[in-house]
Structure 1
Amino acid sequence: MDFSGSHILSIDQFDRSDIEKLFSVADKLEPYATKEKITRVLEGAILGNMFFEPSTRTRISFGASFNLLGGNVREITEVESSSLAKGESLADTAQVLSGYSDIIVMRHPEVNSVKKFAEASRVPVINAGDGSNEHPSQALLDLYTIQKELSQNNKSIDGLRIALVGDLKFGRAVHSLCKILSLYDDVKMNLISPEELKLPIELVESISAKGVTITETENLEDGISEVDIIYVTRVQEERFKNKQDADKYRGLLSLNQSIYTANCEPNTVIMHPLPRDSRSDANELDSDLYENPNLAIFRQADNGIVIRMAIFTLVLDIEEKIDQSSMPVNWKVGLKN
């Protein structure tokens, strides 16, 4: 892929060399992500952060990533606060807002809406989630996390054994992760979900055709044994017709420390794209897992910063310019030691 000036809309755009390039840039950006150094390379640049669905991590981490590169962020956080509520089309909105921004990040509840928006935009657009379809930056940070976690045990993504747990039908992060993992060799996936929330058959067929070995089950204990990674995702309540339909599946596949200890290998890593549903009737990942060193969900969230910084770096073609505006940090970072 030629990243420079490109839209990032789907994991289908990436091959392994593209991922390796992105991860290499991410590694170089680590000192800036952790505020060991600062850069003003994007001073004067404007990110249009357009989120028409609720978001915490994705919205704020995209904005923070742009700020850490020295840029400014302008946000729209709901349809009602934009002219879409007045009947303006996505194409018209794209034409206008791309005149105010150097790059746009967009989340929208409709499948393929971000692609339609990008077709009318005059600047690069990054898909931050389009309905139940895809979430490419989440898949990239998930894969980056998997690589880092596995490397501690001298393992690689080739040969990965992963259990995907929960709402696999509507979970866009899972859909993108399945696509990106299908680029690797000898990957084994255990798909653990209620029958009604199984991974879409067209996606199962697609990744199977690329060599992924798939096992489907509704039994959590069976599915999480003999895997390197457990990737849990919540019931996507907003994709159901009503809350009552979603409630049927809430809490069916909850992981706690006793289940983990009884069924998992000692170094099995636990991941979740967040938010996790911590309400008592769901409790996807029990609080007793906090002391488990293999709970990687917050390391995973932290990786969102450096991966999204790397995306901006490559799309805006600033890789060779970052260190030119490097400066020391002038404030105390973090809590008192």
Structure 2
Amino acid sequence: MAVSQQVFLRDAMRRLNLTRDIFAARIGVKRRALDTWLLPEASQEFRGMPEVVQRFVTEIVENELLLAKYAQSAQSGPLRDRIATNGKHQLLSVEQFTRESVEELFSVADIMQPIARRQKVSRVLEGAVLGNLFFEASTRTRVSFGAAFCRLGGSVCDTTGFTFSSMAKGESIYDTSRVMSGYVDAMVIRHPEQGSVAEFARATNIPVVNGGDGAGEHPSQALLDLYTILTEFSRLGKLLDGAHIAVTGDLKYGRTVHSLVKLLALYRGLKFTLISPPGLEMPAEIIEQIARQGKHVIEQYHSLEEGLKDADVIYATRVQKERFSDEQLEGYTADFQVSKEVVDRCCAPDAIVLHPLPRDSREGAHDLSTDLNHDPRLGIFRQADNGIPVRMAIFAVLLGVENLVQHSMRDVTWSPPSHIGPEDAVFHGMY
């Protein structure tokens, strides 16, 4: 570079007419990383930006079409309006997001971190009531949504299962949704039938969040998964653009992977390795969709070791036996278990191993092995913890209070632990 890094980046932001926050979001890096790149080279905190970033920014500023694309866009107004579906402030699918809007949501999640880590409290949703309507059993998702709403000062009404619900007595989805809307200010719906959450959403104008609809989508899980990948990559000094993502397990019925690969496809030049037993491959329409979104490489394997080679991220999923009809699991053998031995043999020391949970730890389950529990590459608990700030961000955006959170925070009055789990890595603590 003929000019200093600081001058180069400042010139790029000037030509694009972008603030630091938006510029960082546009090029897919954390604001704190950008800040270190913009310091004078004599500063002790100065960091050289990766060569891939320099090439990317150079490509943008030297190409008129890209310059226009990445410049301050005409998109404006509240984020909740820009991700709205059918004119309503609801979250039903990851397809409501662009790369820009998803990273803006993650900026809100970053603001939520001191609250999620028990350092601060906020009451911006005081008086608001969430209806957690889970017509399918759930522990993690239901409690995570409830905790996120409570940490912003709201309260939660829970219901789980069909047995005691009015729908078991013949009430329609429309009637149930409309009645519940008179009681609560937002709803999270989980339902075993694909498309059912959209039916709930059509019957109300209050915010509705899809907590999982059959084999369809699980948008909040995909958002927290992507947030985790970006956070881990930031810690490791890596960029998501150009990364190798290996997804393994039940790709046919796993709604978490359906949503996640759609979000990941918003980034540039990824290599997707899709590894599954025969008969449990990723649906063809989803593969076609991510292939249309960018210059991605998509490979499919029925062998775990072949597919995991040199992966930056391993995303393992359990087999969704509850969604099967007559399919057999003859092809789902011990060879599909993601173990420490396999990860050591196939991947670099800075690989990240994720799983949406719950994982089946019973003998013969062939899921994510527990022998990775003390391996820093295992990110499943950091991933689960990230569900709180991401879901807090979702509620704050949909209810229009995201700009109030920063100034509403006050210190907690109790003494939280330095780490959530007794064996958490240092970088996993609540610091």
TM-score range normalised by the length of the shorter chain: over 0.9
Q: Which has the higher strand share?
A: 1
Secondary structure of 1:277 counterpart: coil
Q: 1:114·1:130 contact (CA, 8 Å) conserved in 2? A: yes
Unaligned runs of at least 5 residues, structure 1: none
Corresponding residue for residue 97 of structure 2: 14
Summarize the Cα distance change of 1:252–1:108 in structure 2 as closer, same or farther, 3 Å threshold.
Answer: farther
Q: Match of 2:178? A: 95
1:93-120 C-alpha deviation (Å, 9 max, x unpaired):
0100011111100000000100011000
Amino acid at match of 1:58: T
Partner in structure 2 of residue 333 of structure 1: 416
Change (3 A) 1:293 1:50: same
Equivalent residue number for residue 74 of structure 1:
157
Matched letter for residue 177 of structure 2: A
Instruction: Map 1:1-337 onto structure 2 (within 5 A).
Output: 2-3=79-80, 6-211=89-294, 212-241=296-325, 245-246=328-329, 249=332, 251-334=334-417
SS of residue in 2 equivalent to 1:197: coil
* One-letter code aligned to 1:193: S
The higher-RCO structure (CA 8 Å, 6+ apart) is 1
Report the residue type matching 2:144 in the other structure.
S
1:147-174: CA deviation from partner (whole Å, max 9, x where unpaired): 0111122212211211000000000000
2:33 maps to none
Task: Write out per-residue CA displacement over residues 88-147 of structure 1, whole angstroms, 9 at most, x where no aligned residue.
Answer: 000000100011111100000000100011000131100010000100001100000000
The secondary structure found in structure 1 opposite 2:232 is: helix
- Partners of 1:127 and 1:135 within 8 A in 2: yes
Percent identity among equivalent residues? Answer: 50
Tell me the distance in 2 between the aligned counterparts of 1:248 and 1:262: 23
What are the Cα deviations for residues 63-110 of structure 1, in whole angstroms up to 9, with x where unaligned? 000000000000111111210010100000010001111110000000
**How far is the alpha carbon of 1:335 from its aligned partner?**
7.3
TM-score by length of structure 1 reads: 0.96
Q: Summarize the Cα distance change of 1:250–1:138 in structure 2 as closer, same or farther, 3 Å threshold.
A: farther
Aligned residues of 1:252 and 1:282 also touching (Cα < 8 A) = no
CA distance in 2, matches of 1:90, 1:117: 6
- Report if the CA contact (8 A) 2:111-2:406 is conserved: no
SS in 1 for 2:336: coil
The question of whether the paired residues in 2 share the 8 Å contact of 1:236 and 1:246 is answered with no
CA contact (8 A) 2:337 2:367 kept: yes
Q: Which amino acid aligns with 2:304?
A: L
- The Cα of 1:328 is off from its aligned counterpart by 2.0
* Higher gyration radius (CA): 2
2-side partners of 1:128 and 1:26: how far apart? 18
1:235, 1:250 within 8 Å by CA — same for their partners in 2? no
Separation of aligned partners in 1, 2:300 and 2:250: 13
Query: Structure 2: how far apart are the matches of 1:121 and 1:292?
Result: 46
- 5+ residue gaps, structure 2, are 1-77, 82-87, 423-431
What's the CA shift for 1:17? 1.1
Give the direction of change, closer, same or farther, for the CA distance of 1:217–1:20 in structure 2 (3 Å limit): same
1:29-88 C-alpha deviation (Å, 9 max, x unpaired): 111111101111111100000111111111100000000000000011111121001010
Which shifted more, 145-154 or 18-27?
Answer: 145-154
Per the alignment, do residues 210 and 259 of structure 1 end up closer, same or farther by CA in structure 2, a change over 3 Å counting?
same
Q: TM-score, normalised by structure 2?
A: 0.75
Task: Give per-residue Cα distances to partners, 1:206-248, cap 9 Å, x unaligned.
Answer: 1112232101011111111111000000000110126x83576
Q: Is the 8 A contact 2:193 2:213 kept in 1?
A: yes
Distance 1:17 1:3 in 2: 13
Distance in 1 (alpha carbons) for counterparts of 2:349 and 2:167: 51
Moved more, 105-114 or 233-242: 233-242
Instruction: Report the AA paired with residue 226 of structure 1.
Output: D
Question: Counterpart amino acid of 1:41?
Answer: V
| Partner of residue 66, structure 2 | none
For residues 247 and 93 of structure 1, the distance between their equivalents in structure 2, rounded to whole angstroms, comes to 41
Instruction: Report SS of the residue matched to 1:81.
Output: coil
Q: Secondary structure of 1:216's match? A: strand
In the aligned structure 1, how far is the partner of 2:334 from the partner of 2:80? 41
Q: Is the CA contact 2:335–2:366 (under 8 Å) kept in the aligned structure 1? A: no
Q: Following TM superposition, by how much is the alpha carbon of 1:324 offset from its aligned partner in structure 2, in angstroms?
A: 4.2
How far apart are the structure 1 equivalents of 2:330 and 2:417? 40
Separation (CA, whole Å) in 2 of partners of 1:132 and 1:183: 22
